[in-house]
Structure 1
Amino acid sequence: MKFTILTSSVLAGATLLSILAPTATFAATDGTAAGNGGTELPQTDKTEVGISFGDNTHNANTGYLRLQMVPHVLDFGNHQLLDAAYPTFSADGTNDGKTANDRHPNYDNGDANMTATLNTSDTKLDKVNGDVWATVVDKQVTRDNVDANNTAASGTWTLSVKADNGLAAVSTSGARSTTDVVDGASLSFANTASAQTSDVFGLTSEAQDATWATDLANAATTEVVKPVSTVNDATLSLMNDGSGNEATVAVAQDGEGQGADVFGWKKSDVKLTMPKAAAVSNAVYKANLTWTLSATVA
């Protein structure tokens, strides 16, 4: 009898557990607006993945003939002091002849020099690859507005550069000092190299150059491609009243320069020489340059 009672109790307990166990449910939606609270499924969102190399910023210039690129920053570094015996600095951030005076290769106390250099796989630009660079794009041979003063031919242009002002201490807000200034510093671009390529879009990555190869193939005029014949070194005087000289970097004669013309300098060939009598404080000093592409009627 006890065995029977025990068995009955176990069975009763099992039955009770079965009754109390929840019934399994599964999530489900049909993906319709009605079933999903007013918004249909599927839904999407986007992720952008990016990485960047070198100076790939562009100006807003357009036209058959345009100034496409100039050095945006020339970084002469951060240094302990100005030694009158070693007044020259290179655009890699070093003090020529006195590297022990170098604190940072970046004038803003950073560890990376901000003087950008060209990075390209175009073998026609090997002579300027790795250089500080300026680019003129000449697509005049594809011109469709030909008249007496605007011919469908490359060339007849000049690239020049001038200092807008001299070196002045700059505050964190960007304001230039009118008292803590250095007049008469010299900025030089030596051993100017040049190269020319027909792969304009490959160099610039600008949408306005995407059809260049097709436009050239369909051009009514054909011409023998010639490099720019006159390429110069340049030395500028940095004066705070803007009276410094303008230096000619390149001159393209009639028929020269079709495509992209790149002018380059090694960082070590771009130099800032301070006046030996200059007095400086613990400050960042800046000056500004303007590069000009001009054309004349042939």
Structure 2
Amino acid sequence: MKFTKLTSSVLAGATLLSILAPTATFAATSTAGSQGATDDNGGTPLPMTDKTVAGISFGDNSDNGNTGYLRLQMVPHTLDFGNHKLLNNSKRDFTADGKNTTLASNDLAASYDNTDANKTRILNTTDPALSKVENKAWATVVDKQITRTGTGYAATTTPKSGSWELSVKSDDALTAVDSAGNKTSETITGAKLSFDNTAYGRTQKVFELTKDANDASWATDSTAAGVTADDTDISAAGIVKSFGTVLKDNGTDVTVATAADGEGQGANVFGWAPQDIKLTMPQGAQVNNAIYKANLTWTLSSTAA
């Protein structure tokens, strides 16, 4: 194409027009309008906000709702003996880390629900006073009885630690459950649950352990005027090193620990390595492709009259 002076002038003019032409703007909702009488955002002013929570947790940090100067704060809520190919009647012991003792080839999954994560929770702690129960399944009794000052209590009730017992019993036999978790009629009679090598630790860092709002003021309450400390561990004789129960309906309470008068101020933690918690299946038991469950009840009771 041959440009003439006229063509060049026209092109130059077109270019000039495009430069000088006003740029279009596309206004949405005016911030001022959304906040003013014109109500530009239909009743909700801008800016508006919402929230996100980022969370992660470790171990069992659930709250059972128990309260009181003396309370059962934690027990092992799940003991997970894993998923296995079959029941070998010569290798009938299973541990709470999901393993068939001395028969690793029989282990399929670490959890009874066929997943890889074993559900037996262990204690995560950096408290030196609890080093013996770290990385163990655990039960905790919180004893704050020294802070029960004043009058009006029963004659045998005192502001002293101890005089309590922790026990556990079987509620029912090992029973197959359906896909909704409901019990079926299939039960295994004579299975036994045992706990060996009970470890013990006691700490005054109660709130740091429990993260329970009930314990937030323990550090100041336990040193308040009129409070007399009796900072003593439960004696070795009061802790049962090994105990067990047959899994059956309405079992009998089995003692785990007993605190004498003046023992146990603070948080008392009893722990068991998962491999020291054992499920022994009865000789000749017949099993199907199913999940079998049994329930335990842990009880904290007073030994004072």
Kept in 2, the 8 Å contact 1:137–1:260? The answer is yes
Structure 2 residue corresponding to 1:186, chosen from 171, 192, 215: 192
Partner of 2:36: 33
Residue 98 of structure 2 aligns to a residue whose secondary structure is coil
1:43 aligns with 2:48: yes
Structure 1, 99-108 or 128-137: larger mean CA deviation: 99-108
**C-alpha separation in 2, matches of 1:252 and 1:258:** 10
**1:23 is aligned with what amino acid?**
T
Partner of 2:272: 265
Q: Deviations over 1:165-221 (max 9, x none)?
A: 11011111121122x111111110011011100000000001111011111111513
Q: Deviations over 1:39-68 (max 9, x none)?
A: 333322111111111111110100000000
Structure 2 runs not aligned, ≥5 long: none
**C-alpha separation in 2, matches of 1:7 and 1:235:** 103
Residue 135 of structure 1 aligns to a residue whose secondary structure is strand
**C-alpha separation in 2, matches of 1:6 and 1:205:** 84
Kept in 2, the 8 Å contact 1:141–1:219? The answer is no
TM-score scaled by length of structure 1:
0.91
Structure 2 residue corresponding to 1:288, chosen from 279, 282, 295: 295
Kept in 2, the 8 Å contact 1:198–1:260? The answer is yes
TM-score scaled by length of structure 2:
0.89
**1:175 is aligned with what amino acid?**
N
Identity across matched positions, percent:
53
Residue 219 of structure 2 aligns to a residue whose secondary structure is helix
**C-alpha separation in 2, matches of 1:115 and 1:166:** 20
Residue 208 of structure 1 aligns to a residue whose secondary structure is helix
Residue 258 of structure 2 aligns to a residue whose secondary structure is strand
**C-alpha separation in 1, matches of 2:126 and 2:5:** 92
Change in CA separation of 1:82 and 1:23 when aligned onto 2, cut-off 3 Å: closer
**2:232 is aligned with what amino acid?**
K
**2:196 is aligned with what amino acid?**
A
Structure 1 runs not aligned, ≥5 long: none
1:105 aligns with 2:110: yes
Q: Deviations over 1:103-156 (max 9, x none)?
A: 111111111111100000111000000011000000000014543232111000
**2:99 is aligned with what amino acid?**
T
Change in CA separation of 1:23 and 1:276 when aligned onto 2, cut-off 3 Å: same
Kept in 2, the 8 Å contact 1:187–1:236? The answer is yes
Partner of 1:231: 239
Residue 220 of structure 2 aligns to a residue whose secondary structure is helix
| Count of aligned positions | 293
